[in-house]
Amino acid sequence: MRRHDIRASRSPLRRLRPVLLLPLAFGVALTLATEDPGGPIAYSGATIIPVDGPPIPNGVMVVNDGRITALGPAETTLLPAGGTVVDLSGRTLIPGLICTHSHLGRGGGGDSAGPIQPEADIFEAVNIRNAGFRRAVAGGLTTINVMPGSGHLISGQTTYLKLRDGNTIDDLVLRDADGLRLGGLKMANGTNSLRGAPFPGTRAKSAALVRAKYLAAREYAEKIARAAGDPEKLPSRDLSLEPLVEAMAGKRVVHHHTHRHDDILTVLRLANEFGFRVVLHHVSEAWKVADEIAAAGAACSLILIDSPGGKLEARDIDYRNGAILESRGVPVAFHTDDWITDSRLFLRMAALAVRAGMTREGALRALTLSGAEMLDLEARTGSLTVGKDADFVVLDGDPFSVYTKVLATYVEGRKVFDRSVPEDLLFAEGGRGAGDDQTFQGCCMGRQGAR
């Protein structure tokens, strides 16, 4: 294999050539061709943290055609002939980060017409050219669950995206083997949906409205089953019931916003009654009912912010949530709820959990593999495993150090963020134009902000 050593190599940015490491003023960064150079690429010398196995000091990961084809210690890993070796000595290589709850793209779901609108699909409303997507890859995110808001009991369907370079949302959306778009169902309770009619005014009424809608969906599914494919007996199609039927059948995960311990228990009762699989989001008071969550077999997606406030029902949030749930065997992931937490600061959230007692291994898993499992994507991503997509991040230090920077982010083997590129650095560090979706293009204007 051809070897490139960072101590002796220099290369202009964005040329069509293999990866090189360059020493720059703000730290060592990666430069990669805008196109795949062809053949396998071996990333060598880094401390590799696969997440589903122990760290590999001085490791090697081989990527070919967007997938991981080999992984192991440098002294025992066979490097394929005809490829390229990238020296990552002194760096840390981790799986791409997965956010189970994001609002990137400024999409909307349900409107003020009513509290329950499962038929609304966030897929139809996401602007992938929004600057937030550039910030996300600058923070090491590679997969996100884009959600409608939480101002409704059921605000609509979510969509799962890979943060590839793309021109339209169809280039980013994840699909199953049959080509169907992947996503969940967003639900919420607590104070967000409590307002004037037709919305509920109490928590009891909120639960009653949800229960009634699921009963209608159950009856709808029973009518379809009894029809046995006979078009004369099939009920009229109901777009508001179909997502609930899919949830009860296990085809769509319910992602449920909930904070207070009594609201959490209401969600668990509804999930048990109607048989849907639920991921509990936020769960500020999970520590009060951790045993009940564990007994129900529910998963939790946590947010830990360093400046709590603004919502009375979240006043009892505890940074030990991750550690307490981990000790009970509850699957734990983290999410940004971007903008609530800027996607560029996602690693810091796990560091806060470690500081409060969560294990390093558990916190790293919560940023990656656990999130993939909650989205049913663990066969594709979430860990550095042979056969999985080559979604990974190169760091210049320990994942939980406040001084560590994301040097590069890769999705399916292609680089989507490079700190050595001035435009990418702008989105990583901020500054004039970093919040712009696109720079105005006049006759004499540059194109540095265009995509």
Residues 139 and 229 both lie in one domain? yes
Whether residues 338 and 402 fall in one domain: no
3-state secondary structure of 61: strand
Residue 32 has pLDDT above 70, yes or no: no
In a shared domain, residues 101 and 121: yes
Question: Both 269 and 402 in a single domain?
Answer: no
- The residue assigned the tokens 């960072």 is 6
My answer on whether 221 and 306 are in the same domain is yes
Within a domain: 446: no
Q: What is the CATH number of the domain that holds 152?
A: 3.20.20.140
Per the structure, the count of domains in the chain is: 2
Residue 310 lies in a domain: yes
* Same domain (yes/no): 91, 224: no
pLDDT for res 30: 37
Q: Who contacts 449 (Cβ-Cβ below 8 Å, separation ≥6)?
A: 423, 433, 436, 438, 439
The arithmetic mean of pLDDT across residues 231-259, rounded, is 98
The confidence band for 79, taking pLDDT boundaries of 50, 70 and 90, is confident
Residue-level pLDDT at 440: 57
Single pTM value for the model:
0.89
Instruction: Quote the CA–CA distance of 194 and 263 in Å, as a whole number.
Output: 13
Asked if residue 275 has pLDDT above 60, the reply is yes
Q: In this structure, are residues 399 and 364 in contact, taking their beta carbons and an 8 Å threshold?
A: yes
Q: Do 175 and 222 belong together in one domain?
A: yes
Query: Do 137 and 253 sit in the same domain of this protein?
Result: yes
Report the distance separating Cα 449 and Cα 112, nearest Å: 35
| CATH code assigned at 32 | 2.30.40.10
370 and 408 fall within a common domain: no
Among 339, 255, 341, CA closest to 298: 255
Judge whether residue 265 has pLDDT over 90. Answer: yes
Domain boundary among 354, 374, 394: 374
Percent of residues, the chain, with pLDDT higher than 70: 88
Question: pLDDT tier at 443 (50, 70, 90 boundaries)?
Answer: low
**230 pLDDT tier (thresholds 50, 70, 90):** very high
> Quick one: pLDDT band at residue 31, thresholds 50, 70, 90?
very low
Residue 37 banded pLDDT, cuts 50, 70, 90:
low
* Residue 285 resides in a domain: yes
**Residues 347 and 404 reside in one and the same domain:** no
> Would 444 be classed as within a structural domain?
no
The 10s digit of each residue's pLDDT in 279-327 is 999 999 999 999 999 999 999 999 998 766 678 899 999 999 999 999 9
**Residue 294 identity (one-letter amino acid):** A
pLDDT in tens, 80-95: 778 899 999 999 999 9
**319 in a domain, yes or no?**
yes
| Cβ neighbour number for residue 344 with a 10 Å cutoff | 22
The residues with which 258 forms a beta bridge, in sequence order, are 282
Residue 60 dihedral angles phi and psi, to the nearest 5°: -135, 135
In a domain, 78, yes or no: yes
pLDDT at position 145, please?
98
Residue 158 near residue 146 (C-beta atoms within 8 A): yes
Based on the domain organization, do 78 and 102 belong to the same domain? no
Q: Is residue 217 classed as helix, strand or coil in its secondary structure?
A: helix
When pLDDT is cut at 50, 70 and 90, the band that residue 445 belongs to is low
> 79-83, 153-157, 192-196: which range is least confident on average?
79-83
Average pLDDT over residues 163-186: 96
Residues 6 or more apart whose CB falls under 8 angstroms from that of 442 comprise none
Residue 304 lies in a domain: yes
Degrees to nearest 5, angle at CA 252 with 328 and 291: 15
- Residue 445 included in any domain: no
Answer whether residue 29 shows pLDDT above 90.
Answer: no
Alpha carbon distance 349, 367 (integer Å): 9
Examine the domain organization and report whether 114 and 60 are in the same domain: no
Q: What confidence tier does 370 reach under pLDDT thresholds 50, 70, 90?
A: very high
DSSP symbol at 412:
T
Residue ranges making up the domain that contains 203: 97-374
pLDDT for residue 439 is more than 90: no
